[in-house]
Structure 1
Amino acid sequence: MANLDINTTIILVTFFIIYGIFLFFDVFQRNERYRYLAYIVALLPINYMWILEFDIILVYTVLFGLWTLCILRDMILVYRKTKEYDDIFLFFILAVVIQIVVASVLPGILPNLKLLPNIASIWDLFWLPNIYAPGASEDFVLVFRVLLTVLIIFIMGPLLLDIKGEDIPFPVLLVIVAIFIIPFLLLSYIWLAEAVAVLTFLFCVVLFVVLLIITKSGKEMK
């Protein structure tokens, strides 16, 4: 149960306002690239929600929503105009890494977080939401799945568009497929945990076929 009072509510709202400042940083017309910090600043309100003992599935659902807003903004205001995706991808990955570290460190500082419902540990090191916990809200889980799926699609889409039409050797295609194994594993787990391996394999095969179609790999051979 969330531990909210007037003080914690004000702090939480303030964190969301700070996120909003960086999300809409271009409104200030400062011609600076601090907009990308929104990916990292999004971690402030959601981890504070975790400290306040909100449902961990809800916490990560909110995080995926905040990150999705960031990517939507960047696809509209940045990628569509410049076709530059490096900074977007870099700051997103940096935010993911920071959150993974927080998921390990924070429960060590506040052990009571380990006892919250719908939470599971990986190697007793990382504490993450367990959408298959008996008490998990079906509504939260559904939104969690949808937002995470949308987020992964938004991250992968521009990467595939960047290599469309490029001359890429066959071995490099295999490397690209290997890079996507982790998000495919994640997608498979959240939608069909009992078939993670085979579903991930299917996703990899489909991606490989797509790469063969959109790239020039192998087309130089006659």
Structure 2
Amino acid sequence: LKDGIIVASLDINSIIVLMTFVIIFAVFLAFDTFKRNEKYAYLAYIVALLPVNFMWIVNFDILGVYLLLFILWCVTLLRDLWGVKQDKKEINDIILYFALAILVQLIITAILPVSIPALLTNTTPWLVFNLPDIYTDTFAFESWVNLDILFAFRLTATLMIILVIVPLILDIKDEEVPLPMFIVIIALFILPFLYLSYLWLPEATAVLTLLMSVMLFIVLLLITRSGKEGELPKKK
């Protein structure tokens, strides 16, 4: 333990394995540069799980592990959003592989600690998933939490969610979206809003999520069309 951060000591074998996983991620991150015209570049979201979960296995600080994972995902999202801007990638493909990577990571958090009980350290169960235990029952910080890492983690998580949500919203700009569909769209964003609210203000998670949902509703009203703008109201 150093300055509130759990630091793992790696032997030469662990260092080589970690470097190998990082290189594999780098290959998929830069896959488009090989000009193979294949979609395997999207696998970077899933391949990013290799180095970070290996670091978790060798007892690195779990919050630092997730900070690194979110950084890798942010870098990959930025790469793909640039591809969308150049009309080389589709936002739907990005969301599909990103969601798949999140699902795989959640499954890993449920399975790995069963085989390696030591991985339960500084985690809390959410259903069957073991995620970082940041807050006490009174919403104070747990004693193991390094506040600098937590702040960086919050910022990175916020950036990651923004990188996902904003392109999706822009994708439906000026589209015909009836008002009832707003409920479906907002429902899709509830989980990210809940997560952000919990990270920043756990004691006000519900009301902050409600506020963000209302703000999204207003944004949708401003950027979408009903398709009936040119119609005259029917006479009774």
Question: For the superposition of Structure 1 and Structure 2, which TM-score range results when normalised by the shorter chain?
Answer: over 0.9
- What amino acid sits opposite 1:190 in the alignment? L
Whole-Å separation in 2 of the counterparts to 1:184 and 1:9: 37
- 2:181: which partner in 1? 172
1:217 offset after TM fit, Å?
A: 2.7
Q: CA RMSD in A?
A: 1.3
Q: Tell me, what secondary structure is at the counterpart of 1:180?
A: helix
- Residue 212 of structure 1 is matched in structure 2 by 221
Alignment pair present for 1:140 and 2:149: yes
Counterpart of 2:49, as a letter, is: L
Q: Which stretch shows the higher mean deviation, 22-31 or 44-53?
A: 22-31
Corresponding residue number in structure 2 for 1:113 = 119
> SS in structure 2 opposite 1:4?
coil
**Deviation (angstroms), 1:28:** 1.6
How far off is 1:131 after superposition? 2.5
Given the alignment, which residue of 75, 80, 105 partners 2:81?
Answer: 75
Q: Give the TM-score of the pair, scaled to structure 2.
A: 0.89
What letter is aligned with 2:73?
Answer: W
* Aligned with residue 60 of structure 1, among 58, 63, 66: 66
Match of 1:199 among 198, 205, 208: 208
Residue 120 of structure 1 aligns to a residue whose secondary structure is strand
Larger Cα Rg: Structure 1 or Structure 2? 2
Task: Report sequence identity in percent.
Answer: 51
Q: Which amino acid counterpart does residue 17 of structure 1 have in structure 2?
A: I
Q: Deviations over 1:164-197 (max 9, x none)?
A: 0011111101110111110000000000000000
- The letter for the 2-side match of 1:126 is F
Separation in 2, partners of 1:142, 1:15:
27
How far residue 218 of structure 1 moved from its aligned partner, in angstroms, is 7.1
Contact 1:170 1:218 in 2 (8 A): no
**Out of 78, 99, 107, which is 1:101 matched to?**
107
Once residues 153 and 134 of structure 2 are traced to their aligned partners in structure 1, the CA distance between those partners, rounded to angstroms, is 8
Aligned equivalents of 1:171 and 1:88: distance in 2? 26
- 2-structure distance, mates of 1:217, 1:2: 56
Measured in 2, the distance between the counterparts of 1:197 and 1:32 equals: 42
2:4 corresponds to: none
1:122 alignment counterpart: 126
State the partner residue of 1:189. 198
1:91 and 2:100 correspond: no
Higher helix share: 1
SS in 1 for 2:86: helix
Unaligned runs of 5+ in 2: 1-6, 136-141
**Counterpart code for 1:202:** L
- Deviation string, structure 1 residues 109-168 (Cα, Å, up to 9, x no partner): 111111x2x321223x21111233222001110111000000000000110011100111
> Partners in 2 of 1:31 and 1:196 — Cα distance?
43
Q: Which runs of 5+ in 1 are unaligned?
A: none
Q: CA deviation at 1:4?
A: 1.0
**Corresponding residue SS for 1:136:** coil
